[in-house]
Structure 1
Amino acid sequence: MAMDAWIIVAGLKAEQWYSEQRSLDNTYKQLGKSRKGTPMENRERFLDRRNASGGDGSVEMENAASILKYIQALEGVGRDGVHATVVGYNTLLSGWAKLANPMRSEVPLKSEAILRDMMESYENGNGNAAPDVLSFNAVIKAWGKTRRPNSASRCEWWLRKMVKGSNTVNEQEEAASIPKPNVQTYNLVMEAWLQLGDPARVQDLLLEMDVSDSVAPNSESFSKVIRAWLQDEINNQQQYGLSGLSCENAWKWLKELLERENGSSRLGLGTGVVLVYTQDCG
């Protein structure tokens, strides 16, 4: 509960900080266009305002992390009933995922370090620290929110680790600490590729789920494929004046979703507002 309290504050501060930084960036660009002051004066004014802005939530996250370290210390000296469990680790991971944004490229690395610490702790005999699918999903979410050129590929790297690890039967100790990906895992990776403008990769991940024996796509999965093709249609029209093919792909997937919703017993399928966007495209 104490960790949760710090993380809630961290998330609120991070959201406000990111909004402030985007506003400062826009101000700096406007100063450059209006040529008010020299470039160096504008840059110094910009950096002064950025440094004076509110905290980004990192201090609160360090406070939350210190609680987990305290638990680990008590466990290390044999305090009864005190264990560093997956719940504590996941609480910390979810907090860092809240802080991730395009201006915080270091956040996913912090998340990865926590996940690796969990895996190492489990391999060293702490059965309470085995990471679950929520642990991996939090790391993938952190990478996706940074929207860096390598963010989607890094998201998929963790997905592949889950797929490979869960298919390995105790060949390595590490394999036992790697859960199977669920539909949310795939959806997070799909969102990362969507943000980087790769509709074909988003579609491939949906098709991969569709032939899987362990995970099935839901309406959110279909929605991401449709959105990816619609965004591609808009980009093609703006850049090249071309239209048609990407919109047709979006419509094809919407019809597929409608057919499954009406004739399939698979759970989690249903249409929503994405239908409106596709009709607008047509």
Structure 2
Amino acid sequence: MSILILGGTGEAMALARALAPDSRFAPLLSLAGRTKNPAPPPIPWRCGGFGGAAGLAAFLATHQFAAMIDATHPFALQISANARKAAAIAGVPLLTLTRPPWIAKPGERWTIVRDLAAAAQALGPKRRRVFLTIGRQDLLPFRAAPWHHYLIRSVDPPDPAFLPPDCDIISARGPFSEDDERALLASRAIEILVSKNSGGAMRAKLDAAQALAIPVVMIARPPPPASGPVVTDRDGALAWLGRLHDAKRGV
């Protein structure tokens, strides 16, 4: 059974590893291409867009995919919307695989905001040393608050046109341990952390911030899809695929 996985997340990679030895399925992992040198998955993969919902629907039909799994980043709203439209056009079952959002622990100091512009505003008028962990594509709103010093971490170097004027860049690929995050925050004298509520098990930066009494500006998670099945981990996706496979075989 041919499966198209829209990936770019740890959950997509975990699903790819689980499907690699399973002879019932022929998965293809599709990456958006935002990372220049992605870690190669253990299954066939492609990189790049499809040309919107219509292009994705045509791709599904041409290659006769029996199912599609949207395992993209929780903030990748456009590709998720295209996936829903394409699945409806092509008549292909769609599953959304998205990690659960983070929930503040007792003692954590979060300011929850609706978007990037609100996050920049929440930093306040006083100069602060800010750790931005939002990805290289979303830095432009922070140019509106140029009086802060920003530490920016991304896998690939950001576009200079997006950068706030006073910043340092760290090129690194996670996951990161809590000890490493705590050492980084302390060595750079970080006073506030900005994060998207990407969720999942890896919350080392948040635990490190709590340990150092550093407040967090948390950008709220977009609402989940209005319809269709949703699972939060690899096992849920495997169970859905198993049921779909059995149904197609008439088991």
Shorter-chain TM-score: which interval?
A: under 0.3
Higher RCO (CA 8 Å, separation ≥ 6 residues) = 2
Normalization by structure 1: what TM-score? Answer: 0.24
Structure showing the higher helix proportion among its residues = 1
Normalization by structure 2: what TM-score? Answer: 0.26
